[in-house]
Amino acid sequence: MEQLSAMLRQPWPWYVAGPLIGLNVPLLLIIGNKTFGISSSLRHVCAACMPARIPFFNYNWKQEKWNLVFALGILLGGFIAMEFLRDSTAVTVHPHLVNELAGYGIHDYSSLIPKDLFTWSQLLTPRGLIMMVGGGFLVGFGTRYAGGCTSGHAIMGLSSLQWPSLVATCCFMVGGFIMANLILPIILSI
């Protein structure tokens, strides 16, 4: 029991986590004929709270309530994992990245989410505003424009051999590489 608890607390290796994530695909299909995807929940929130006569948000979102419940579950799962399955050791990161980030004054590795960047006090700095508010906007706008996110396209779409999802996934990666290597250094030095 002790051993099991210690194992659960450690970061899980990719060959455990990856297949578990992949199992969401058959799980949702079998329990309710649902296709795995998360970003649609953002659209349902818009449809439920602010449809504003926009055709894209005028549909019966209540039929898609499962997706909002699933999203709520993820929120709770995050809480449970952080509260009860926490690993107290610092995040180990590639030494090159540690060096690079030190140049921008990022030194705190005690949390999975860097405390030097994502906090309420950082929110009101230009850097924090770009990263949290700007970044969130790009995620919401981009996923809907692309018709899905990493779960809907990269995992569900590729698993069911849909070529538009392969195109979208490649574009996610290209966008990520451009941001991380070319644009983010500029934003971090603000």
Partner 1 sequence: MLKYLMAGIAFGIILVKAELVSWFRIQEMFRLQSFHLYGIIGSAVLTGMISIWIIKKFGIRTISGEKINIPDKKFNKGNIYGGLIFGLGWALTGACPGPLLAQAGGGATVIAVTLLSAVAGTWVYGRFREQLPH
Among 5, 62, 78, 105, binds partner 1 (CB under 8 A): 78
Closer to partner 1 by CB, 1 or 86: give it.
86
Token pair 């004929």: residue: 33
Angle, vertex CA 21, rays to CA 77 and CA 90, nearest 5 = 60
141 to 170: interface string for partner 1, x by CB under 8 A = xxxxxxxxxxx-xxxxxxxxxxxxx-xxxx
Q: Is 104 in the site for partner 1 (CB under 8 A)?
A: no
Q: Is 61 in the site for partner 1 (CB under 8 A)?
A: no
Among 65, 103, 105, 110, binds partner 1 (CB under 8 A): 65
The answer to whether the beta carbons of residues 159 and 168 sit under 8 Å apart is no
Structure tokens, 40: 């649609």
- Name residues contacting partner 1, limited to 16-45 (CB under 8 A): 16-36, 38-39, 41-43, 45
Quick one: how far is CA 7 from the chain centroid? 24
| Nearest approach, Cβ of residue 94 and partner 1 (Å) | 4
Q: Which residues contact 188 (CB under 8 A, 6 or more apart)?
A: 101, 104, 106, 127
